[in-house]
Amino acid sequence: MPTGGIAPGKHHIHPAYVIKSALSAALLILIAVVPSVLGSVLPSVLMEDAEAGNAITYIMLSVIALFVLLVAFLGFFAFLSYRRFLWEITSTDIHIYSGVLFKKQVHIPFHRVQSIDFNAGVIDRIIGIVRLKIETAGGARNKAVLIPSLKLNEAEALRAEVFARKRMAAGGGIASAAQTMPVAPQIAYGRPQTAQGAGGLVRGVESSLAGARGMLAQEYYEEAPLEYEYRLTAKELLLSALSSDHNYVTFLIIVGFLSQIPEFLGLFVSLDGFVYQQAFDSLAKQAVSAIILEVFVFAALLFVLTIIGTAVSYGGFKARRRGGRIEVEQGLLARRYKSVAIQRIQSVEVKQGFIRGLIGYAELRLHTIDALDSGNEQNKQGMSSMGVTIHPFIKKTRIDELLAGLVPEFNERPQEKELRKLPPVALRRTINRSFVFPALIIGVPLALLSLLVIQPYVPADFARFVLIGMWALYAIVGAYYLIGAFLWKKHSTYTYNQRFLAIKQGAYGTSLLFIPRSKIQYARTKQSPLQRLAKVATIEATTAAGVGGTHTRLRDLRVAEADKYLDWVRPSLRR
Amino acid sequence: MRPLPSRQLDRRIKRVWRLSATIGVVLWFLVAVVLVFATVAIVYVAGVFEEEGTLVPFMTLAALFVALVLAFIIFVLIVPAVRYRQWRFEVLDEEIDIHKGIFWRKRIIIPLIRVQNVDTRQGPIMRAFGLASFTVSTAAGEHVIPGLQMEEADALRDHVAVLARIAQEDV
C-alpha cells in the first residue's frame, strides 16, 4: 500500500478526541460555575466567620467532587461516542456510524461530495489532528458531515481517496484504493514549491509550519498537479492588518469617547458649586488627564492587539489551484484548510474598505454554495454568503494576474472601465433615501425634545452642553450619510458582457461583484411606486451562493436598461 | 418597455384569495374582540369605570367594527383584484417569465435549465375551486404560480419537468 492509502474496513477516529472533549467540557463548566460559586462564598470568607468557614469548606469540597464527577461522566460519554464513531470507505460511499443513545448512520456517495475541509485549533495542531468537514451537493437544505478528530495525514489521504474515486466514478471506472493512490509524488503537500512573491519572514514561518505537523507527523503526497499557488508576503500581511477599516473604527470610537471626558467632568465640577471649584479645579484636571492617558494607552493596546489578531488569522496564508479545486490555507496558530470545487463558485468579489481603497488595495473573495454544519442548522439558514477570501490584501493592478492564475474561468469578465453609470435621478433618490428621510425622522423628534423638554426643564449650563453635543452629533452623522450618498452614486455602476454580470456598489467601501450568467438562478426587476414615478427600477440577480441563495441588487437603473438586463438573462434571446 | 407576459391566472383564483382573506380578517377581528372583552372584564372587576361613563368599551367595539369594514374593503375587495390584474406569466421554451406585485412590481425571469424541481400543490380551498398551484424550485429558492386549472398545472409541470431534466443538479 502506497503512503497514505486507506485500509479497507471501519476506522476509529483519533482517541485524542476523548481527552479533548472532556477538557473543553471541563473548561466550559469552570467558566460557567466559578464566578457564581466565588460570588456566594467570598463574602463570608471576607468576614472571617469561623462557623461559616467550616460550611464553606464542605460546600467547596462537594462542588469540587460534583465537578470531578461531571467531568468524569462527560469524559465517559466522550469515550462512548469515540467507541461508536466509525468511518469507512466502501466502493461507492463514505459510511459514518455515530451516536451513543441515538445511533446514526450516514452514507455519502462519492459523487455527492463537494468539498472536504480541515480545521485545527491550537491544541489540535500540537497533537497533530484535524476536524474534517465533508460538504455535499444539494440546494438549501444540505448539511455538512463532521469527523471530529483525524490525524492530518489520514485526513489528507481520505480527501485524496474520495476525490480520486469521485473522478473514477465520473469516468465510469471502478475505483480501488491501491489503484487510485498516487504513485509518483510530484509536489509535497504543505511544502513551498512555487514561492510567488514569498517574503523572507513569511516563507520562514511557512516552512517551519510545514515541518510542524504535530507529534503524529507523517509525510503525505498529493497527486493532482499544482496549477497555481499564491502566498501572502510579510509586507502584505502587515499592511492588510494595518488597513483593516474596523480596526480603526474601534480605535476612533474609543478615542472619540475619551475626548468627551474632560468636558463632562469639568461640567460636573462646575455644577457642584462655586465653593469647591477652586480647590477641585487643579485636582480634577490632573485626574482627568491621567484617566485620558490611561484609556488612550488602553485603546492603543487594543489597536495593536487587533492588528496582531488579523496577522495571526491570516498568517501563512496560501491559496492554490489544483485539479479543478481552489484550496485556501490560513492561520498561524489555529490552522484552517478550505477547498472549493471550481463549479461551486458562484461569483468573485473585489472588496475595498475605505482605507484600502485610498491606497489602491483590495480583498478578493469567492462566493460559493455553503453547507450547514450538522448541529447548528438554524442560525445559518438564509444567511447570505460571506465567501472565501482568496487574497486579503492585493494591489489593484495585480488582481487580473491573480484571478487569471486561480480562476481563469473568470478571464472574460468585463473590465472596470466598462462599468456604466446610473442616471442622474439615482443621485436624487439616494440622497432622499439615505439622508433626507432619515434626517427628518430623527431630526423632528430631536427638535421637539430640545424645544419642549431640554430648554425649559434642564439647567441652562447643562442644557447648553447637551444641546450642542446632540446637534453636533446629528450634523456629523448627517454629513457622513450625505457624503455617503454622493459616493454611492459615484461608485454604483454595472455592466454585462457575453458571459458575466458586473455590479459595483458601496459608499465609503465598495464591492465589485462578477457573476457568471450561467450561475444566475433567476433574475428580477423591481419597482416601488416612487421608482415608477422616477421611471427607474431595481435589478437583481440571485445565485445559489451561501445557504439558500444570495441576492445581489442594484437600485435605480432606467426602466429600459433594467428591461435590457432581463433580456440578457433570458436564454431564448441569447442567440 | 417590454410587453407583459401574455397569460393571466384562472379567474377563480380571485375567489380563493377573497375567501382566504375573509377568513383571515374575521379571525383577526375575533381575536381583537376577545381581547377587548377580556380587558373590559378585568377593568370592571378592578372597578375603574364606576364613577365615569361606560362608553369606552362600546367606543372600542365601534372602532373595531370600522376597522373590520376597512380591512374587508382593502384585503377582500381591493387587494385580490389588483393582485389578479397585475399577475401575468408565460412559460416560454427556455424560461419562465412572471410579472406580479401590488405596490412593488416585480418581473422575474427563471431560466428553465436552472429549475431543479417542479411540482403542483393543492390546498383545501384550492381543491374546492378545482385549482392548483405550480411551483418551480431552483438552487436558490422557489417560485409559485398560484391559480391554474388542475389539468393545466399538471400539463405545465410535465412540460417543464422535461426541460428541467437537463439542469445541472450539482450546482
- Our measurement of the distance from residue A401's CA atom to the centroid of its chain's CA atoms, rounded to an integer in Å, reads 25
DSSP state of A223: -
Residue B88 forms beta bridges with which residues?
Answer: B8, B99
- In contact, A275 and A327? CB cutoff 8 Å: no
A572 touches chain B (CB under 8 A): yes
Residue A317: count other Cβ atoms within 10 Å of its Cβ: 26
| Chain B: residues touching A (Cβ < 8 Å) | 1-2, 92-95, 97, 101, 103-114, 116, 137-141, 143, 169-171
Contacts of A246 (CB under 8 A, 6+ apart): none
Helices first, then strands: H and E counts in chain A? 19, 24
For chain B, state the CA radius of gyration. Answer: 23
pLDDT digits 0-9 by tens, B112-121: 888 888 888 8
Please report which helix (H) or strand (E) contains residue B156, including its range.
helix B150-164
Pairing of strands A522-527, B105-111: antiparallel
Residue B153 has pLDDT above 70, yes or no: yes
Pairing of strands B95-100, B105-111: antiparallel
Taking the CA of residue A164 and the nearest CA in chain B, the distance in Å comes to 18
Angle between helices A261-271 and A460-491 (to 10 degrees): 160
Helices (H), B3-149: 12-46, 55-71, 79-86, 124-128
Asked if B93 lies within 8 A of A572 by C-beta distance, the reply is: yes
B105 contacts in chain A (CB < 8 Å): 526-527, 532
Position A157 scores a pLDDT of 85
Position A231 scores a pLDDT of 86
Query: DSSP 3-state assignment of A410?
Result: helix
pLDDT digits 0-9 by tens, A265-298: 555 545 444 444 555 566 666 776 777 777 778 8
pTM score: 0.76
Spatial separation of the C-alpha atoms in residues A350 and A346, rounded to whole Å: 14
Taking the CA of residue B153 and the nearest CA in chain A, the distance in Å comes to 21
Spatial separation of the C-alpha atoms in residues A537 and A528, rounded to whole Å: 8
Most A CBs within 10 A among B82, B138, B144, B169, hence the mutation to make, goes to: B138
Question: Residue A526's closest CA among A515, A513, A514, A542?
Answer: A542
Position A219 scores a pLDDT of 42
- In contact, A112 and A135? CB cutoff 8 Å: no
First to last CA, chain A: 54
Query: DSSP 3-state assignment of A117?
Result: strand
A387 touches chain B (CB under 8 A): no
Nearest residue, CB atoms, A523 vs list B103, B109, B170: B109
Spatial separation of the C-alpha atoms in residues B72 and B62, rounded to whole Å: 15
Spatial separation of the C-alpha atoms in residues A232 and B50, rounded to whole Å: 80
DSSP state of B52: S
Spatial separation of the C-alpha atoms in residues B144 and B155, rounded to whole Å: 15
Nearest residue, CB atoms, B107 vs list A524, A528, A542: A524
Question: Scanning every residue of chain A, which has its alpha carbon at the shortest distance from the alpha carbon of B138?
Answer: A521
- The C-alpha cell at A42 is 467570598
Residue B84: pLDDT band (50, 70, 90) is: very high
B136 contacts in chain A (CB < 8 Å): none
Question: Residue A172's closest CA among A260, A111, A88?
Answer: A111
Nearest residue, CB atoms, A522 vs list B104, B109, B169: B109
Query: DSSP 3-state assignment of A273?
Result: coil
Residue A512: count other Cβ atoms within 10 Å of its Cβ: 22
Instruction: Among A227-236, B81-90, B136-145, name the one with the lowest average pLDDT.
Output: A227-236
Counting one residue from A and one from B, how many pairs have CB atoms under 8 Å apart?
97
B95 contacts in chain A (CB < 8 Å): 569-572
Spatial separation of the C-alpha atoms in residues A513 and A365, rounded to whole Å: 9
Asked if B114 lies within 8 A of A520 by C-beta distance, the reply is: yes
Asked if B140 lies within 8 A of A532 by C-beta distance, the reply is: no
Query: DSSP 3-state assignment of A315?
Result: coil
Position B81 scores a pLDDT of 95
Position A566 scores a pLDDT of 94
List Cα–Cα distances, B164 to A141, A168, A326, B119, B143, in angstroms. Answer: 20, 27, 29, 12, 14
Most A CBs within 10 A among B91, B97, B98, B108, hence the mutation to make, goes to: B108
Position A280 scores a pLDDT of 55
Residue A251, CA atoms < 13 Å, CB-side half-sphere: 16
Asked if A529 lies within 8 A of B140 by C-beta distance, the reply is: no
Query: At A172, which amino acid appears?
Result: G
Question: Residue A111's closest CA among A156, A173, A153?
Answer: A173
Position A445 scores a pLDDT of 93
Beta-sheet strand order (sheet of A536-543):
A550-558, A536-543, A522-527, B105-111, B95-100, B88-91, B7-8
Position A258 scores a pLDDT of 66
A532 touches chain B (CB under 8 A): yes
Please give the full DSSP string across A54-94, using - where no structure is assigned.
HHHHHHHHHHHHHHHHHHHHHHHHHHHHHHH-EEEE-SSEE
Question: Residue A519's closest CA among A562, A554, A569?
Answer: A569
Taking the CA of residue B25 and the nearest CA in chain A, the distance in Å comes to 26
Which parts of chain A have pLDDT scores under 50? 1-4, 139-140, 173-221, 269, 271-276, 374-383
Spatial separation of the C-alpha atoms in residues A410 and A35, rounded to whole Å: 54
Question: Scanning every residue of chain B, which has its alpha carbon at the shortest distance from the alpha carbon of A566?
Answer: B109
- The C-alpha cell at A518 is 450561467
Question: Scanning every residue of chain B, which has its alpha carbon at the shortest distance from the alpha carbon of A572?
Answer: B94
B93 contacts in chain A (CB < 8 Å): 572
Spatial separation of the C-alpha atoms in residues A420 and A503, rounded to whole Å: 10
Residue B141 forms beta bridges with which residues?
Answer: B138
Spatial separation of the C-alpha atoms in residues A516 and A402, rounded to whole Å: 18
Residues written for chain A: 575
A541 contacts in chain B (CB < 8 Å): none
Residue B93: pLDDT band (50, 70, 90) is: confident
Asked if A528 lies within 8 A of B112 by C-beta distance, the reply is: no
A535 touches chain B (CB under 8 A): no
List Cα–Cα distances, A24 to A20, A71, A426, in angstroms. Answer: 6, 10, 54
Position A277 scores a pLDDT of 52
A516 touches chain B (CB under 8 A): no
- Our measurement of the distance from residue B13's CA atom to the centroid of its chain's CA atoms, rounded to an integer in Å, reads 10
Question: Scanning every residue of chain B, which has its alpha carbon at the shortest distance from the alpha carbon of A573?
Answer: B94
Position A537 scores a pLDDT of 96
- In contact, A100 and A106? CB cutoff 8 Å: no
- In contact, A394 and A362? CB cutoff 8 Å: yes
Spatial separation of the C-alpha atoms in residues A374 and B107, rounded to whole Å: 36
Taking the CA of residue B43 and the nearest CA in chain A, the distance in Å comes to 33
Residue B94 has pLDDT above 70, yes or no: yes
Asked if A559 lies within 8 A of B1 by C-beta distance, the reply is: yes
Question: Residue A18's closest CA among A83, A78, A99?
Answer: A78
- The C-alpha cell at B126 is 384550492
Asked if B111 lies within 8 A of A571 by C-beta distance, the reply is: yes
Position A422 scores a pLDDT of 95
Query: At B157, which amino acid appears?
Result: R
Position B73 scores a pLDDT of 95
Asked if A566 lies within 8 A of B137 by C-beta distance, the reply is: no
Nearest residue, CB atoms, B171 vs list A369, A522, A560: A369
pLDDT digits 0-9 by tens, A340-360: 888 889 999 999 988 888 889
Position A162 scores a pLDDT of 84
Most B CBs within 10 A among A522, A530, A536, A550, hence the mutation to make, goes to: A522
Position A455 scores a pLDDT of 81
Asked if A571 lies within 8 A of B94 by C-beta distance, the reply is: yes
List Cα–Cα distances, A515 to A346, A423, A524, B114, in angstroms. Answer: 7, 23, 15, 15
